[in-house]
Chains A and B, each alone.
Chain A
Amino acid sequence: MKKAILVLALLGATAAGAAWALSAPTRMSAEDASALRQGDAANGELVFWAGGCASCHAASGAKGEDLLKLGGGLRLETPFGIFVAPNISSNTADGIGSWSLEDFANAMTHGTSPDGRNYYPAFPYTSYIRMSADDLGDLFAFLKTLPSVDGKAADHDLGFPFNLRRGIGLWKRLYLKPGPVISEPVTQDGLDTVLWERGRYLVEGPGHCGECHTPRDFAGGLELTRWLGGAPAQTGEGSIPDITPTDGGFGGWNAADIAYYLESGFTPEYDSVGGEMVHVQENMAKLPASDREAIAAYLKAIPPVAVQPN
Chain B
Amino acid sequence: MRINRKLGAFGVLAGLCFTAGMAQAADDPVAVRKAIMSSVGAAAGLGGGMMKGGVDYSPAAGKAAIATMRAASLSFGAFFPEGTGEGDTGAAATIWDDADGFAAELAKFSAATEQAAAASGKDGPADLDSFKAAFGPVMGTCKSCHETYRKKN
Where the two chains meet, the residues of A that have a C-beta atom closer than 8 Å to any C-beta of B are 233, 236-241, 265-266, 268-275, 278
Contact = CB atoms under 8 A, between A and B. Distances in A.
In the complex, which range does the number of interface residues on chain B fall in?
A: 20 to 34
A272 B142 contact: yes
B68 to A, nearest CB: 12
B53 to A, nearest CB: 13
B153 A239 contact: yes
Contacts of B151: 233, 236-239, 274-275
Contacts, number: 52
A275 B48 contact: no
Contacts of A238: 90, 92, 151-153
B136 to A, nearest CB: 11
B41 interface: yes
B93 interface: yes
Contacts of A273: 143, 146
B137 to A, nearest CB: 14
A275 B146 contact: yes
16 contacts: A233-B151, A236-B151, A238-B92, A238-B151, A238-B153, A239-B153, A240-B152, A269-B45, A270-B44, A271-B41, A272-B44, A274-B147, A274-B150, A275-B146, A275-B150, A278-B144
Given A237-B92, A237-B93, A238-B92, A275 B147 contact: yes
Contacts of A266: 44, 48, 139
B36 interface: no
